[in-house]
């Protein structure tokens, strides 16, 4: 008799097993950045059960068999800058349609403000108590109970910590106030936070100086936390702001991550190579600093980003804007800021400011219009229009600012320490009609389609790494971010020839194409490009998590 080949024996053994799902003959990009290989992937329960060379699982018994010929099989994408927290607390159905159809299987929240810990002084910043929780653990539990289409976790917001100790007051924190902030940070880390997330252009987070931030961030060092920051300037003082972030991490002895790295306004675009050099040189000295980004030439935040920070002191923003004496001072400062703040309206110019978040019926005619257009229609200077709209609406007014360089985006994407984040919440094109930033729907497919396939900025394998293991490694998420037998079955199958974003600034509520299948914890959430309605997401917790606390 001829000897039975080892390959035949292995194939027979695998065929004898029963799997929930077998994905056959795909280009396996395992998340490491290594070259793809043709392979089969099997899922059982919430785990990856087998990864084998193509053909070895073709005879395996499975409840569902998917032919992935010509498609990529990859780990689920991890959004390091997500804002889905209210989508998971009753303001949405939890499906996160715009996000999971991008291939996102894990959402990491926390920039600036979080829903916990809630305390009397935090009310000055957050307003009503709706969706606020006294403990970080209680917030995660509430989102778990609501249920989600993807996994989720969070940093603790630095502004929330600042408000916890000092409310909306300006000035340095007293030793007692700083002690309260540190204790709250430590408890949040034991409850599962990934670190501290600051946004130093928004009050009250912007009221903290470097020394205060260093002392606060020191509290997370024993828990393996990361300091992640929307740095103090992305414009005229970009390099100084990067230096500050590096100093905070170095003194506190924690890794540093920079949110949505960018150089805003044309006069600052040449600073991006210098910013990259600054980060590279710090890394060469052994300082762990990295960054993430979204692939669009416009940012998104509130219209309040056109105001100096002092206007929000003591929680009196709208009261101050309505005060005639303060208003006159403010109108002068808005067109000629001093060196303590930068105006998004000036950085983008009024023609580059797109108003999208107006809510009052009388303002709907201005939704989707540029600030320059609205000013012309009202017959008023743009600073007056900004103040009038904010006072009338009594909310921050979501706004899109066009002020970034396409060349810089490509340059940034080439950096090995860059990761991808949406800086967006979830949406559903069936019910959401108000304008949103297209990153809500298209961030990850845009990187894969426009920058990877069409412009060859980087290999597809490297793009997948930036979306998966790079984030998992950064946050010490040990069981996701890679295709490995035994790890959690967060898996994406996409067509590398067709994957692309469709959402635009004019018509943002359009799902991306080319993302064929998405599994979250082994459950199929996207089937043939359509959301299945499944809600298998789980709360993920950082390395400092202490269940008994």
- Give 198-267 as a DSSP string: EETTSTTGGG--HHHHHHHHGGGGGGT-EEEEE-S-SSTTHHHHHHHHHHHHHHHT--EEETT----SGG
Q: Which residue has the tokens 């150089």?
A: 263
Percent of the chain topping pLDDT 90: 93
pLDDT the model gives residue 2:
41
- Count of Cβ atoms closer than 10 Å to residue 243 Cβ: 15
Query: What value does the mean pLDDT take over residues 363-375?
Result: 97
The per-residue b/e assignment along 64-100, b for 16 or more CB within 10 angstroms, e otherwise, is eebebeebbbbbbbbbbbbbbbebbbeebbbbbbbbb
Domain co-membership, 177 together with 233: yes
Residue-wise DSSP of 449-512:
IIIIIIT-SS-HHHHHHHHTHHHHHHHT-TTSSS--TTSB--EEEE-TTT-B----SSS-----
91 and 164 inside one domain: yes
266 shares its domain with 341: no
- Judgement on whether residues 184 and 114 belong to the same structural domain of the protein: yes
Indicate the residue among 402, 425, 458 that finishes a domain: 402
The 10s digit of each residue's pLDDT in 107-131 is 999 999 999 998 888 887 776 667 8
pLDDT digit string, tens, across residues 144-173: 999 999 999 999 999 999 999 999 999 999
pLDDT of the residue at 91: 81
Calculate the average pLDDT of the chain. 95
Let me know whether 330 and 434 are in one domain.
Answer: no
Q: Which band of pLDDT confidence, cut at 50, 70 and 90, is reported for residue 373?
A: very high
Q: Would you say residue 249 lies in a domain?
A: yes
Q: For residues 289 and 306, state if they share a domain.
A: no
Instruction: Specify the CATH number for the domain of residue 222.
Output: 3.20.20.140
Judge whether 535 lies within some domain: no
Whether the per-residue pLDDT at 370 is higher than 50: the answer is yes
> What is the domain range of residue 390?
301-402
Encode 357-401 in three state secondary structure. CCCCHHHHHHCCEEHHHHHHHHCCCHHHHHHHHHHHHCCCCEEEE
Residue 179 in any domain: the answer is yes
End-of-domain residue from the set 402, 432, 459: 402
Single residue among 334, 368, 402 that ends a domain in this structure: 402
Q: What is the DSSP letter of 174?
A: P
The count of domains in the chain is 2
**Residues 139 and 225 grouped into a single domain:** yes
Are residues 291 and 421 located together in one domain of the fold?
Answer: yes
| pLDDT greater than 70 at residue 11 | no
Q: Quick check: is 543 in a domain?
A: no
Is the same domain home to 136 and 235?
yes
Is there a domain that residue 460 lies in? Answer: yes
Residue 10 confidence class, pLDDT cut points 50, 70, 90? very low
Question: Over the stretch 336-346, which tens digit does the pLDDT of each residue have?
Answer: 999 889 999 99
Same domain, yes or no: 279 and 328:
no
Task: Tell me what the mean pLDDT of segment 85-102 comes to.
Answer: 94
Neighbouring C-beta atoms of residue 278, cutoff 10 Å: 17
492-537 pLDDT, tens per residue?
999 999 999 999 999 999 999 999 999 999 999 999 999 999 999 9
Residue 267 lies in a domain: yes
Residues 293 and 211 in one domain: yes
Asked if 341 and 288 sit in the same domain, the reply is no
């Amino acid at each position: 008799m001829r000897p039975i080949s080892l390959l035949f024996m292995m194939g027979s053994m695998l065929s004898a097993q029963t799997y929930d799902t077998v994905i056959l003959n795909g280009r396996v990009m395992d998340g490491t950045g290594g070259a793809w290989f043709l392979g089969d992937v099997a899922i059982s329960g919430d785990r990856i059960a087998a990864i084998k060379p193509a053909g070895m699982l073709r005879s395996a018994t499975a409840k569902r068999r998917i032919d992935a010929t010509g498609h990529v099989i990859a780990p689920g994408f991890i959004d390091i800058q997500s804002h889905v927290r209210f989508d998971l607390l009753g303001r949405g159905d939890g499906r996160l349609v715009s996000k999971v159809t991008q291939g996102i299987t894990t959402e990491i929240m926390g920039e600036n403000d979080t829903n916990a810990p809630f305390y009397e002084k935090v009310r000055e910043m957050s307003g009503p108590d709706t969706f606020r929780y006294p403990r970080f653990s209680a917030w995660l539990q509430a989102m778990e109970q609501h249920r989600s289409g993807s996994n989720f976790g969070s940093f603790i917001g630095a502004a929330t910590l600042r408000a916890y100790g000092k409310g909306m007051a300006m000035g340095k924190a007293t030793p007692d106030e700083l002690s309260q902030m540190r204790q709250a940070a430590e408890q949040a880390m034991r409850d599962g936070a990934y670190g501290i997330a600051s946004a130093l252009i928004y009050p009250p987070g912007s009221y903290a100086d470097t020394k205060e931030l260093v002392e606060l961030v020191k509290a997370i060092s024993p828990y393996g936390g990361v300091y992640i920051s929307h740095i103090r300037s992305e414009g005229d003082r970009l390099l100084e702001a990067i230096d500050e972030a590096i100093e905070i991490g170095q003194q506190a002895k924690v890794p540093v991550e920079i949110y949505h790295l960018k150089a805003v306004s044309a006069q600052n675009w040449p600073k991006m190579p210098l910013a990259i050099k600054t980060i590279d040189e710090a890394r060469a000295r052994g300082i762990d600093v990295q960054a993430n980004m979204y692939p669009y030439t416009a940012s998104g935040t509130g219209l309040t980003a056109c105001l100096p920070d002092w206007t929000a002191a003591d929680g009196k923003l709208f009261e101050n804007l309505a005060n005639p004496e303060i208003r006159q001072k403010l109108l002068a400062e808005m067109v000629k800021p001093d060196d303590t703040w930068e105006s998004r309206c000036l950085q983008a110019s009024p023609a580059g400011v797109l108003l999208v978040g107006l809510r009052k019926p009388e303002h709907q005619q201005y939704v989707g219009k540029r600030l320059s257009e609205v000013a012309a229609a009202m017959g008023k200077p743009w600073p007056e229009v900004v103040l009038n709209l904010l006072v009338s609406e009594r909310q921050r007014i979501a706004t899109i600012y066009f002020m970034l360089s396409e060349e810089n985006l490509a340059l940034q994407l080439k950096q090995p320490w860059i990761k991808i984040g949406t800086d967006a919440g979830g949406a559903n094109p069936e019910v959401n009609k108000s304008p949103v930033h297209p990153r809500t729907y298209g961030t990850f497919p845009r990187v894969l389609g426009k920058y990877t396939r069409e412009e060859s900025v980087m290999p597809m394998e490297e793009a997948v790494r930036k979306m998966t293991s790079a984030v998992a490694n950064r946050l010490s998420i040990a069981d996701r971010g890679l295709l490995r037998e035994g790890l959690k079955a967060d898996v994406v199958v996409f067509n590398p020839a067709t994957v692309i974003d469709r959402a635009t600034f004019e018509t943002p509520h359009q799902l991306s194409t080319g993302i064929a299948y998405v599994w979250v914890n082994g459950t199929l959430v996207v089937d043939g490009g359509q959301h299945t309605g499944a809600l298998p997401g789980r709360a993920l917790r950082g390395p400092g998590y202490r269940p008994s606390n």
